[in-house]
Amino acid sequence: MEVARVLNYSYEVVKFFFSDHFLTQIKERRISKRLTKSIYLRASRRYIDTSTGHDVAIDKRKHLGKMRSIMVAYDAIIRGENENYASEANLIGDEIWFVTAYPLRDKEIEKRVKSGRWILKDEKN
């Protein structure tokens, strides 16, 4: 596992980690680590993938010249006592482990939601 640089956010520190699979996939798909962190932090939608147990963050971004929805699958290790944050992890010691990332069509999102594979996460704001 490669340990990423620490990203400062909300005056606190979150550590991002990247699996070997994740690094291979984003290289093949020409998606930057910076973009995936940004999608995690500013996602317009968040789901729980009932098939894998991973959390999923999705946002529309320009990718290879087109506006596309990009998903980032991750596991969050929240060490803070209060998990009531829009970005989920933003306390010292919190960790985000990126699993995979890829562009997908809105129809693919709708299909996964309709089938029950992806369940919309409640925002705890």
Range of the domain at 55: 2-120
Q: Are 101 and 36 in contact (CB under 8 A)?
A: yes
In-domain check, residue 95: yes
In-domain check, residue 103: yes
In-domain check, residue 83: yes
In-domain check, residue 108: yes
In-domain check, residue 125: no
In-domain check, residue 90: yes
DSSP state of 30: T
β-strand pairing of 12-18 with 94-104: parallel
The one-digit pLDDT tens for each residue of the chain (125 residues) are 444 444 444 435 678 899 999 999 999 999 999 999 999 989 999 999 999 999 999 999 999 999 999 999 999 887 665 554 444 555 556 788 999 999 999 999 999 999 999 999 874 33
Q: How many structural domains is the chain composed of?
A: 1
Which helix (H) or strand (E) segment is 16 a member of? strand 12-18
Q: DSSP labels for 42-96?
A: H-SEEEEETTT--EEEEEEEEETTEEEEEEEEEEEE--SS----TTS--STTEEE
Closest listed residue to residue 22, CA positions, set 123, 94, 92, 100:
100
Closest listed residue to residue 56, CA positions, set 108, 1, 125:
108
* Distance, CA of 47 to CA of 52 (rounded, Å): 12
For the entire predicted model, the pTM comes to: 0.78
